[in-house]
Structure formats: structure tokens, C-alpha cells
Amino acid sequence: MKNTPTSNKYVLNWIDEMASLCAPDKIVWIDGSTEQENALRDEACATGEMIRLNQEKLPGCYLHRTAINDVARVEGRTFICTREKADAGNINNWMHPDECKEKLTKLYRGSMRGKTMYVIPYSMGIVGSPFAKYGIELTDSIYVVLNMLIMTRVGNNVLDALGSSPDYIKGLHARAHLDEENRYIVHFPEENTIWSVNSGYGGNVLLGKKCFALRIASYLGRKENWMAEHMLILGVEYPDGETKYVCAAFPSACGKTNLAMLIPPEYYRKKGYKVHCVGDDIAWLRVGEDGRLWAVNPENGFFGVAPGTNEKTNPNALHTTLRDTIFTNVVHNTRENTVWWEGLDKNPPEDAIDWRGNPWDFRKYDKNDKSTCGAHPNSRFTARAQNCPCLSSEFNNPVGVPISAIIFGGRRAKTAPLVYQSTSWQNGTFVGSIMASETTAAASGEVGVVRRDPMAMRPFVGYDMGDYFAHWLAMGKLIPNPPKIFHVNWFRTDNEGNFIWPGFGENMRVIEWILKRCDSKVDARESAIGYLPYPEDICILELDGITRETIEQLLHVDVPSWLLDVENIRKFYAQVGERVPNELHAELDALEVRLKEM
Ligand code: OXD
Ligand code: MN
């Protein structure tokens, strides 16, 4: 290779090796410059890979459609390839690294013939900061390059910061034939390597995100005494100007991006409260010199779900997407050359192309039949964090923000109360480990299926889940002044199946109680599951339709449902296997005893 922007032999030798495997016609280094980004946008528009949208209404915005068989993360085809199966654990798919490489090498061989291989040097975290980790992604997709330019910090300064070190994550992505049967997203945590083949969809191919910043980083965090978590980070600014930060983990599709960009209700705004977004998906957590836990968001953008995003649910996200955004699999309004998705507004476009690329008639849309949607339910926006109106001034702080509270959450119709507090770090780890979400079998009206999703990390832990719980417990011993741990549930329903709590901005009321607890400014009552608020301590001023009785109902601990849950948790722990720490079994036993005493 001539004229390379680095002389790092570990980088150059690896690129040589991957290039001789994939056989691209040429290799292009991505330097992070606007000129190069614009040239790639032009090229993608010329080939039809992207559509340039109305630049007056949506400056810097583009539309892309993936293949119709390639629209979401594929957990069934995601593997953790450790040398010992036990190290990947029972929850992950596992393949031996040698077997995996042999299989995937065949898929990569010659796959970039006639194409360009792009070399993307990127940083997760601020380049040069103590939190940052570097990666290089090789890809044959301009769409991936343009998304990585939004989602991460890309450029020659990453190579400068890496210097001659071998310490970077090697990512290889080839679209190949987009063949579902041979689609693989594989991680070699022992070799700092990620391979992705036969997909072009975000979560499978933007290797800095789930693959690196969660799966590989969780593995590194365990070795290096830090944590990589599937958490948003937000700051609440009080009227006196002080800001307190919380992290929150929710399973996918529970409104994480909405909470991260929450706008406080008018009652709070009038008093001077503000909420600032530090991150919407991933937090890297370390013990600071002051003995507190500090968090950074390693990403530089948001890869959010478009449907349902609107002026009411998340005006900040909507405004973030009005410039420099790549939309994927949404509706194309061809008259205006703009975009639309279900739940944006009540004016679906007359002249429209759906996410599959076919003409779309909104009159045929039936909300109970997903196949009639104009935008794919998992359609996305890739938007720059810097364009977010409520982005925290600490977003680029290299050491991050100090965390007062960790909030776990799930979607539970009956079991979990609106909010409760764990009694210790160990008990809080237990609360995280039993996180779950329910889906309701709408057609048959049956009670939902519970999917246990510990710390919202089920698809993202790069090693054995039992070891991951043990790492949480071990971290607790390293944090002299740990955050308090809470659990929330915005999704409790009444007997007709309607949500009781209004959610969205009103969730501020629950966060206020949480932060008061962290400052010992409010009492709580003990219950079998942890500390519960006194109903009068959740502020309901200027909140229509919610009374003290409603709050009492939302805080009710229903013993029979919890006892059923205990059984379900026991089964889940058995499935995780023998590395579940004894401390968590003891927490579960103690919970059962307390419930039976109630
Ligand atoms: C995501 C997810 O895309 O969690 O962030 O699925
Ligand atoms: Mn996520």
C-alpha cells in the first residue's frame, strides 16, 4: 500500500491480509474531511444507493433503503467466538474461532472484487481521552462509511492517537450477496476482532455500535475494571443551576431515546428545570478519582427508530433529524422529496414510495397489519448528536459525567410498580439481573410472554452472563460512593389494557423522586421488593387524570404475580447456568421469603 496515513505495521499488515482475502479493486482511507464525505454522498446518489432529499427542507439529509430481507439485527446469527464455549456462556450463540474463520473466510473470499474497500479509523469516545478506544472498520459499503461518520469520531487523528500500538479493534464488513442464510455477525473477543458478512443493516454493520461498544467493550471492561452498558445518560438541571446525572437501561423498544431527550412538563419548566441528553443508547462507566461512577457516551450520533417519533413523543429527536441525517427504510414523499413514517403526523403523503421501494397508498394502511406500513417498523434515522437541541454541554467532556442513579426498566403490565429502589448495590445488581419485558399476544388476548433481559444486555454481553453478573458485583466493591439503583415501569395497564401512567415528559416526576432519594431528601417505605415511594412524594401537580389513588395503584406490589415471577427467574438463572453468583441466588431466595411473609 502506498501513501498510507499511518505506518502502524499492525494496521497495515492486517489491512493487507484482509484485502488479499476480499480482493477489492482499490482501497480508500476515510480521513474525516467534509470534502471526502461530500464526494462519497455524490457517488452514493449517482449509483442509487442513496437519494438526496429536499435540501431546503432537510439540508444534508439522505434516504437509503436496505434489502427487504435485511432490516434488523439478527440475534440468531450473532456469535461470540471464544476458544472455550463456557466463556461465551449459554445465552450467546457460540462457534469455535477456527471453525468460524474457516466458514466465513469462504464467504469473504473475492467478495469485494470490482468494489472499493474503505478503511474507517474511528474512535469510541473523545480521541485522546482516557475513556476512548479505537477501531478500524473495513467495509465495501459507502452507506456504512457515511453512517460511521455520523455515529463515531472518524479521521486521521485516530491513527495519530493510535500511533504504533496494536491496541485497536479490527472490524471487517462485506455486504457479499446479502444472503440471509449466510449472514453472520461474529465477535472474537480474545482477538479484538469483529467480522460481519452478508448484511447491510445498521446494527449488524456499524461495527462501532453494538459489536464494539457493547459486546467487545463489555469483555474488555471485565478485564480492565470498567463497564460497558446498554444505557442512556441524561442530566437533570435544577433551578439553582446544579445538574445531576442518571443512567438508564431499558430493553429495545421501551422508549430509551424518548427518555434520553425528555422535555420536562410545563410545571417543572416554569420552575426552571431542564433535561440534557448525554447519550441515548450506550454508556461506558468507570470509577472516578472522587470514588463516584463516571459515564461517557462513546458514540457521536443517534441511530434511532423513526416510527412513533413526533412533535409530542420526542420533539428533540425530531429536530435533530432535520439536517445532516440519513434515513433508512422510511416512506419517501416524492412530491416534496421529503420523508414520512407512521406516527410522524396525520398527513401521510399522497405521492409516496414505501420502504420496499414500491408505490404506497396510505389509504390501504391498516394499523393491525404491519405489512401495509409505509415505513418499516424498524426504520431508522442516523443523526448527529451535535444537532440535538438538548445535547448536554458535557457531551464532549473527556471524563464524562458523575452518575447519581442507575435506573433499570421494563415493560410489565402488572408486576413491577411505577418505581422502586433497591436496598444496596448487590440488591440493585439482582434487580438488574431480573429485568424483563412482556409482549401481549394481541390476537388471542393472552397474557404476554416474558422475555428476561438482564440490564437490557441479553443480546449484547460479549461473554458468559453469569460472569457478567459477577462483574457487576465486583465493580460494586470498587466504587466507594456508588450510584443508587432503581427500577421503573412506565407500562402498567388497567383491566382494559390501557396504560395508566402518561409516560414521556411526565416521567420527569419519577426521576425527581429518584434524585431526591439519592440526596436523602425524601423518605421511602420498605417492601418485599425494595423501597417504595410514599404516594404523596410523587409530584402530580398539574397532571391531568392522575390522582393519589392512581399512584397507589401504580405502586401496588401484587404478591401472586411476583411469586410467579420468582419461578420464572429461577428458570432463567438455571438457563444462564452455574456461573450465576451465589449472592444473586441468595437475593432471589430472600425475595421469595419476604413475598411469602407479606
Ligand atoms: C438498538 C437496539 O438499535 O437496542 O439500539 O436494538
Ligand atoms: Mn440499543
**Ligand 2 centroid to residue 306 C-alpha, Å:** 14
Quote the Cα angle for 331-304-415, to 5°.
115
**Ligand 1 centroid to residue 406 C-alpha, Å:** 19
Q: Which residue's CA is minimally distant from atom 1 of ligand 1?
A: 252
Q: Which residue's CA is minimally distant from atom 3 of ligand 1?
A: 203
Phi, psi of 37 (to 5 degrees): -60, -45
**Ligand 1 centroid to residue 459 C-alpha, Å:** 10
Asked whether the predicted pLDDT for residue 2 surpasses 50, the reply is yes
Q: Which residue's CA is minimally distant from atom 2 of ligand 1?
A: 252
Kindly give, in sequence order, each residue whose CB lies less than 8 Å from that of residue 493, ignoring residues fewer than 6 positions away. Answer: 413, 414, 499, 500
Q: Is 251 in the pocket of ligand 1 (CB under 6 A)?
A: no
pLDDT 10s digits, 506-547: 999 999 999 999 999 999 999 999 999 999 999 999 999 999
**Ligand 2 centroid to residue 509 C-alpha, Å:** 24
Same fold, 9-30+74-224 and 229-297+395-597: no
pLDDT 10s digits, 541-590: 999 999 999 999 999 999 999 999 999 999 999 999 999 999 999 999 99
Phi, psi of 90 (to 5 degrees): -80, -20
**What would the mean pLDDT of 273-287 be, rounded to a whole number?**
98
Q: Is 203 in the pocket of ligand 1 (CB under 6 A)?
A: yes
- Nearest of 575, 593, 249 to residue 436 by alpha carbon: 249
Give me the residues paired with residue 260 across strands: none
Question: How far apart (Å, rounded) are the C-alpha atoms in residues 237 and 508?
Answer: 12
pLDDT 10s digits, 158-171: 999 999 999 999 99
3-state DSSP call for residue 219?
helix
Q: Which residue's CA is minimally distant from atom 4 of ligand 1?
A: 252
Asked whether the predicted pLDDT for residue 442 surpasses 50, the reply is no
Give residue 255's pLDDT: 87
Quote the Cα angle for 132-135-139, to 5°.
150
Question: How far apart (Å, rounded) are the C-alpha atoms in residues 301 and 391?
Answer: 11
pLDDT 10s digits, 213-254: 999 999 999 999 999 999 999 999 999 999 999 999 999 878
Pairing of strands 26-29, 116-124: parallel
- 269 within 8 A of 475, measured Cβ to Cβ: no
CATH of region 229-297+395-597, choose from 3.30.1440.10, 3.30.428.10, 3.40.50.1860, 3.90.228.20:
3.90.228.20
Kindly give, in sequence order, each residue whose CB lies less than 8 Å from that of residue 13, ignoring residues fewer than 6 positions away. Answer: none
Q: Is 281 in the pocket of ligand 1 (CB under 6 A)?
A: yes
Task: Please indicate whether residue 518 is annotated as part of the active site.
Answer: no
Asked whether the predicted pLDDT for residue 443 surpasses 70, the reply is no
3-state DSSP call for residue 159?
helix
- 1 within 8 A of 16, measured Cβ to Cβ: yes
Q: Ligand 1: which atom is nearest the Cα of residue 203? A: 3
C-alpha cell recorded at residue 15 = 489491512
Domain 302-383 is found in CATH 3.90.180.10: no
C-alpha cell recorded at residue 302 = 443517534
Record: fold of 9-30+74-224 = Phosphoenolpyruvate Carboxykinase; domain 1 (3.40.449)
Asked whether the predicted pLDDT for residue 440 surpasses 80, the reply is no
**Ligand 2 centroid to residue 230 C-alpha, Å:** 6
Q: How would you class 329 by CB atoms within 10 Å of its CB: exposed for 0-12, middle for 13-18, buried for 19 or more?
A: buried
Asked whether the predicted pLDDT for residue 441 surpasses 70, the reply is no
pLDDT 10s digits, 52-107: 999 999 999 999 999 999 999 999 999 999 999 999 999 999 999 999 999 999 99
Q: Ligand 1: which atom is nearest the Cα of residue 305? A: 3
Residue-range domain boundaries for the chain = 9-30+74-224, 229-297+395-597, 302-383
**Ligand 1 centroid to residue 318 C-alpha, Å:** 18
Q: Ligand 1: which atom is nearest the Cα of residue 251? A: 4
Residue whose C-alpha cell is 457516551: 297
Give residue 368's pLDDT: 83
**What's the chain's average pLDDT?**
96
**What would the mean pLDDT of 311-330 be, rounded to a whole number?**
97
Asked whether the predicted pLDDT for residue 447 surpasses 70, the reply is no
Asked whether the predicted pLDDT for residue 478 surpasses 60, the reply is yes
**Ligand 1 centroid to residue 414 C-alpha, Å:** 25
For residue 113, name the pLDDT band (cuts at 50, 70, 90).
very high
- 272 within 8 A of 239, measured Cβ to Cβ: yes
- Nearest of 312, 329, 440, 313 to residue 381 by alpha carbon: 329
For residue 412, name the pLDDT band (cuts at 50, 70, 90).
very high
Kindly give, in sequence order, each residue whose CB lies less than 8 Å from that of residue 62, ignoring residues fewer than 6 positions away. Answer: 41, 44, 45, 50, 51, 52, 53, 146, 325, 326, 327
Q: Ligand 1: which atom is nearest the Cα of residue 380? A: 3
Phi, psi of 590 (to 5 degrees): -65, -35
Ligand nearest to the CA of 306: 1
H-run or E-run covering 41: helix 34-47
Q: Which residue's CA is minimally distant from atom 6 of ligand 1?
A: 252
For residue 29, name the pLDDT band (cuts at 50, 70, 90).
very high
* Active-site entry in 81, 254, 277, 388: 254
- Nearest of 307, 316, 297 to residue 344 by alpha carbon: 307
pLDDT 10s digits, 413-424: 889 999 999 999
Pairing of strands 401-409, 243-249: parallel
Q: Ligand 1 pocket check: which of 75, 185, 199, 281 to mutate, most ligand atoms within 8 Å of Cβ?
A: 281
Question: How far apart (Å, rounded) are the C-alpha atoms in residues 47 and 87?
Answer: 44
- 3-state SS, 312-343, equals CCCHHHHHHCCCCCEEECCEEECCCCEEECCC
**What is the chain's length?**
598
**Ligand 2 centroid to residue 229 C-alpha, Å:** 10
C-alpha cell recorded at residue 358 = 414500491
Q: Ligand 1 pocket check: which of 66, 73, 207 to mutate, most ligand atoms within 8 Å of Cβ?
A: 73
Pairing of strands 193-197, 169-174: parallel
- 89 within 8 A of 465, measured Cβ to Cβ: yes
For residue 3, name the pLDDT band (cuts at 50, 70, 90).
confident
Residue 538 CA: distances (Å) to CA of 220, 235, 420, 529, 549: 39, 19, 12, 19, 12
Q: Which has more pLDDT, 42 or 495?
A: 42
Q: Ligand 1 pocket check: which of 66, 185, 210 to mutate, most ligand atoms within 8 Å of Cβ?
A: 210
Asked whether the predicted pLDDT for residue 494 surpasses 80, the reply is yes
Give residue 49's pLDDT: 97
Pairing of strands 484-488, 401-409: parallel
Q: Ligand 1 pocket check: which of 205, 252, 282, 305 to mutate, most ligand atoms within 8 Å of Cβ?
A: 252
3-state DSSP call for residue 506?
helix
Ligand nearest to the CA of 231: 2
Q: Is 279 in the pocket of ligand 1 (CB under 6 A)?
A: no
Half-sphere exposure of 22 (CA within 13 A, CB side): 30
